[in-house]
Chains A and B, each alone.
Chain A
Amino acid sequence: MDKPKIGFYWCASCGGCEEAIVDLAEDILRITAAVDLVFWPVALDFKKEDVLAMPNGSMAAVFINGAVRTSEQEEMASLLRAKSQFVIAFGACAQLGGIPGLANQFSRDSILNYVYDGAPTVVNEKHVRPSVRCEDNNRTLTLPEFRSVVRTLEQIVHVDYFLPGCPPTPRLITSAIDALLTGKLPPPGSVLAPDVALCDQCPRKKSKPEQIRFAAFKRPHLTSMDSDLCFLAQGVVCMGPATRGGCEALCPAANMPCTGCFGPTSRVHDQGAKMLSSLSAAVDAKESDQVDAVLAGIPDPVGTFYRYALPASLLRFSANIGSAAVKETL
């Protein structure tokens, strides 16, 4: 009998999710022995044509990481969806939009203007911008279109399962692949991680007081953090209470607060709003200037509370990025 065929693909991502596969170490041998890797552009020389040649549904599963920003990513996501029985959104960017999703605060034009002109390291006298089509010496060159907003994979194609994390941990990856191979799968649409917030498994849980008020917020790089005490008890924003567990509390173990990469639990529609609601209710200030002073400790609220999940949030993008964005997402 043929071994099940598996593919990996990346969209708008940093490549960390690809590294996570390599991080499986010896386990990768066990997996490659059990499956046929039929598509993995970052590591193996497959082309789009190879995918086009596959019969629909012939792959058992494809793991797609990265958010979706370009027309090419949309096209590949749709193509892989057709060829695969299961599509797994792999990592925070595919699941929630991830760090690239923070670009949803800015319009397409302002991003391109900065990257191709404004950035201090750029010289671009002709103010060239990438365009979808370009004629050069009677040759036509094309580029994928840069869309107005960053979207999650599920906002493009139907996704069967989600593997959370920036990147997903080796343990979650192997258990997900094992579940696929054995057919012991949770209900469709599930996130393949526990549905309880991180505090549940955080080694610092016991040190969190029952009564907590924030008279100031401290930033991790500007404060000397106690290595045993709950971060929130130290006045450091930790996204743990609003973030799905399953990462084995790696960051708190390394004396860094949770930044929320596993996204919200299944019961929460908007991770950032939930954390904001929880923290702001406990701000220890009455007058508006006191409130301002406390909030000064969080100079980048979107980057703090929506670091990984802005495109998956209720608002999805900033209102000032224009009607094109709204049109694209409808």
Chain B
Amino acid sequence: MSNDESIRTGFYVCHCGHNISDVVDCTAVARYASTLAGVMVSRDYKYMCSSPGQELIRQDILEHKLNRVVVASCSPLLHEHTFRNAVAAGGLNPFLFQMVNIREHDAWVHADRAAATAKAQALVSAAIRRVALHKPLQATRAPIHPDVLVVGGGIAGIHAALTLANAGKKVYLVERQPSIGGHMAQFDKTFPTLDCAACILTPKMSAVRSHKNIVLWTYSEVAKVDGYVGNYTVTVRRKARYVDENLCVGCQECIDACVFKVPKFPDPFNLGMSMQKPIYIPFPQAVPQAAVIDPDRCIQLKTGKCKKTCVEACADRKAINLNQKEQLLEIKVGSIITATGFKLFDAKRLPEYGYGRYPDVMTTIELERLVSSSGPTGGELRLRSGKPPTAVGFILCVGSRDMRTNRWCSRTCCMHSMKLAQIVRERTGAQVTVFYIDIRAPGKGYEEFYDRSLQQGVQFVRGRVAEVSDCALSPDEAGKLVIRVEDTLAGFVRRVPLDLVVLAVGMEPQADAQEMRRILNMSCSAEGWFLEKHPKMAPVSTFTDGVFIAGCCQGPKDIPDSIAQAGAAAAEALALIDAGGIDQEPNTAYIRGEECSGCKSCISLCPYAAISFDAEKQKAVINPALCKGCGTCVASCPSGSIGQNLFEDQEVFEEINGVLDYV
């Protein structure tokens, strides 16, 4: 826009029904704006965002030859795009537009009509002075790489990967354990239908392995992510498995042949309730169905002095490679779905429940393995003494809804415990008591499941359990675990003798969630769950474009919700890929090349790693595709050598002058 062209501004103030006009005198604001320099048209209208409202702008631009537009209405987060489009429809560059928020910033937070109107006018004065300095800008379009990285091979990651792969996209699925499957693989049955977890999960795991569009990397971790939406470069660390998973057929002959005749190392899949050898397959349905060698336990890898009977047993297949090294692989993807899951609360943090002290106090996941037909006891529930239990108690909210540990509700433990309670009733006929604070059964079929638990004779006692002890006060408590609890419905303290106590441990963010957050440049809630872009309107997006979240890494949830989120995240990634490119807001920062002294102050401050140092020119460089326009570098550049589109110093000062002029 040349300097001599006179500024012709159109101004519009929106009533937003009664939202704004109840507190702000919109006609007075329009009247005031009409007196300001450069304002050719000034109108108030009931709903500026409606089609007629937008049409008003378009018509006025043509009729009055407007070259600037200001709308005073709601938050730009809501309708900046709407009005920019209306401005563009009138043939103007959409960035010759400024929006004034007189709803959230004014009408909704004030009651005094005169003062609120004055505030609206001051803000309008600022915007009208500022918009005169706006320059036409172009949104740039960056291409989107069609491949997707899914981090985490639990049910959420598996579902997201399959959805994308079925849509014809190439997917890299990275899982840090030697097998995919996640927590769900450890479950016996699923609530509320009591269908077998393995029967519904295993087919999906196998489908991942055999899918032509999925590259499955287990025993691998994301080490580094560079780039930006549409163009991520990811470095994946593939740990040495010492077995070539493409050659291994899962025959287990190597395991049988291992020089350790008897398994003697705790098996993490069964939480140490069974033993494994240094060479093992994590669990019977593991995918890939390939052995893995633990380098801390294998004699050859530790000392180099083993007969290598495993290699001998493998013979011609030559799948075992004891010289395998960790690999760093680099891949290019356009979007990333994070489905890194959760960890369980460590019950030892609540010593009053005796976990780790009394052998028959266990967690829900341990019980899950004990009742599973593939578990250490083949599904037979036994006390540590070998006897079947006669009285079993479940303590809910262990580590959840507790000011001392985690304040949140883990959402699944009520249902999970009721499922286990029913299984225990069915298998052992034992008396089962559930100690709860509130039963939370809000899902489809969940309340009915609660009813079924009651019908099956599961007892419910409302109250937070104070302690579990083995201190008998009466003969019937002798040799038993005793729960002391205030029954808040009956109004007295109960002592309940039991021989098995199950702790329904809640969910927590992964121990290294912060590291993952940094690698992917996401935000975390105070509790450490990955933060969605908007809790309602963008539940699987993050503040980093092209990075999506699914499953329990975002917060506790059950299997149906995890799968729903995974599907949503896959759909978001598909929408991004199929758009072919992404428009980028041009409010980016830029280095004024000649003026930069190369002091590097800005580089470490950029939260998006968008600034690099050009060693040849000895100046900083901002990658506009990475810049999110946060302004951190602009404000902190000590020599004022960074500018920002739409936030030029002159524009900001003119805005301040506009307010000061009014007051």
A residues apposed to B, CB below 8 Å: 195-200, 205, 208-213, 240-245, 264-269, 274-275, 277-278, 281-282
Residues of B within 8 A of A274 (CB): 636-640
Q: Which of A205, A212, A264 contacts B639 (CB 8 A)?
A: A264
A269 to B601, CA, bound (A): 18
Q: A205-B599, A210-B604, A213-B604 are in contact. List 18 more A-B contacts (CB 8 A).
A: A196-B596, A196-B639, A196-B641, A198-B597, A199-B598, A199-B599, A200-B597, A205-B598, A209-B600, A210-B603, A212-B601, A240-B597, A241-B597, A241-B599, A274-B639, A277-B638, A281-B605, A281-B632
- Chain B binding site: helix, strand, loop or mixed by DSSP? loop
Residues of A within 8 A of B592 (CB): 267
- Which B560-607 residues have C-beta < 8 A from chain A? 592, 594-601, 603-605
B639 near A241 with CB under 8 A, answer yes
With both chains docked as a complex, state the minimum distance between the C-beta of A273 and any C-beta of chain B, in angstroms: 9
Q: Does B454 contact A (CB under 8 A)?
A: no
Q: Which of B594, B596, B639 contacts A268 (CB 8 A)?
A: B639
- Chain A binding site: helix, strand, loop or mixed by DSSP? loop
Q: Does B635 contact A (CB under 8 A)?
A: yes
Q: Does B75 contact A (CB under 8 A)?
A: no
A103 to B597, CA, bound (A): 31
B595 near A240 with CB under 8 A, answer no
B600 near A210 with CB under 8 A, answer yes
Residues of A within 8 A of B527 (CB): none
- Of all chain B residues, the one with the shortest Cβ separation from A266 is B640
Residues of B within 8 A of A275 (CB): 638
B595 near A196 with CB under 8 A, answer yes
Q: Which of B598, B632, B636 contacts A200 (CB 8 A)?
A: B598
Residues of B within 8 A of A241 (CB): 597, 599, 601, 638-639
- Which B260-290 residues have C-beta < 8 A from chain A? none
Residues of B within 8 A of A266 (CB): 640
With both chains docked as a complex, state the minimum distance between the C-beta of B607 and any C-beta of chain A, in angstroms: 11
A211 to B613, CA, bound (A): 11
| Residue among B595, B596, B599 with most chain A CB within 10 A | B599
Residues of A within 8 A of B594 (CB): 196
With both chains docked as a complex, state the minimum distance between the C-beta of A314 and any C-beta of chain B, in angstroms: 11
Residues of B within 8 A of A208 (CB): 599-600
A197 near B597 with CB under 8 A, answer yes
**Can you give 10 A-B contacts (C-beta < 8 A)?**
A196-B639, A197-B597, A200-B598, A210-B600, A210-B603, A213-B604, A240-B599, A242-B638, A244-B639, A282-B604
- Of all chain A residues, the one with the shortest Cβ separation from B596 is A196
Q: Does B166 contact A (CB under 8 A)?
A: no
With both chains docked as a complex, state the minimum distance between the C-beta of A286 and any C-beta of chain B, in angstroms: 13
A209 to B640, CA, bound (A): 20
The 9 nearest A-B residue pairs measured at CB? A267-B640, A197-B597, A242-B638, A197-B639, A241-B599, A241-B638, A199-B599, A268-B640, A200-B597
With both chains docked as a complex, state the minimum distance between the C-beta of B502 and any C-beta of chain A, in angstroms: 39
- Which B629-651 residues have C-beta < 8 A from chain A? 632, 635-641, 649
Q: Does B618 contact A (CB under 8 A)?
A: yes
Residues of B within 8 A of A209 (CB): 600
With both chains docked as a complex, state the minimum distance between the C-beta of B653 and any C-beta of chain A, in angstroms: 8
A44 to B598, CA, bound (A): 45
- Which B613-636 residues have C-beta < 8 A from chain A? 613, 618, 632, 635-636
A199 near B604 with CB under 8 A, answer no
